[in-house]
Amino acid sequence: MKAKEITLSALLTALTIIILYLNLLLPISTISILTLASLLIPIALIRGSMKSAILVYISSSIIGLFLLPINIIILYILFFGIYGLVKYFIEKFNNMPLEILLKIIFFNIILFISFFVFKSFIAIEITKLPIGIFWIIAQIVFLVFDYALSLLITFYIEKIHKKI
């Protein structure tokens, strides 16, 4: 890796930790904060390389384990951090129905793993809703999240990337 990519990765890692920490300070939805944090992985892909994006994800995850509440960093590690990379590879197919199917499959696998991790290791209850209703709501929220992340990436490319 070149010095420019290492510097970019360090800066994006720091921004990720700051954004995740804002969840403790601001009365904003946790999902909104996690969505902003997940935007930084695609930015690392756009400005740097796959290596940069992976470095941002891994370093943010490790640093976050020491500085952030466990529930926030586990959500970042299991889904919101890695999703930018998964989205990148899935969207290379350029087949919208297949992309949506693969994204939903990935999301449901992570949702199942998250339930297991939170229930078994962290002892935090994810929801008080019946599991079926929660699952349906989670699918809708995921699709909104994916669309919002796409809009944020597009905004970054069109309005910010070329100016920096």
pLDDT at 124 over 70: no
Cα angle at 80 between 153 and 138, to 5 degrees? Answer: 100
In this structure, what token pair is assigned to residue 33?
């904060």
Spell out the domain ranges in the chain.
Answer: 3-163
Q: Find all residues with CB under 8 Å of 36, minimum gap 6, and list them.
A: 19, 152
pTM summary value: 0.91
pLDDT at 68: 94
pLDDT tens digits for range 9-59: 999 999 999 999 998 888 788 889 999 999 999 999 999 999 999 999 999
pLDDT at 123: 67
pLDDT at 122 over 80: no
Model confidence at 129, pLDDT cuts 50, 70, 90, reads confident
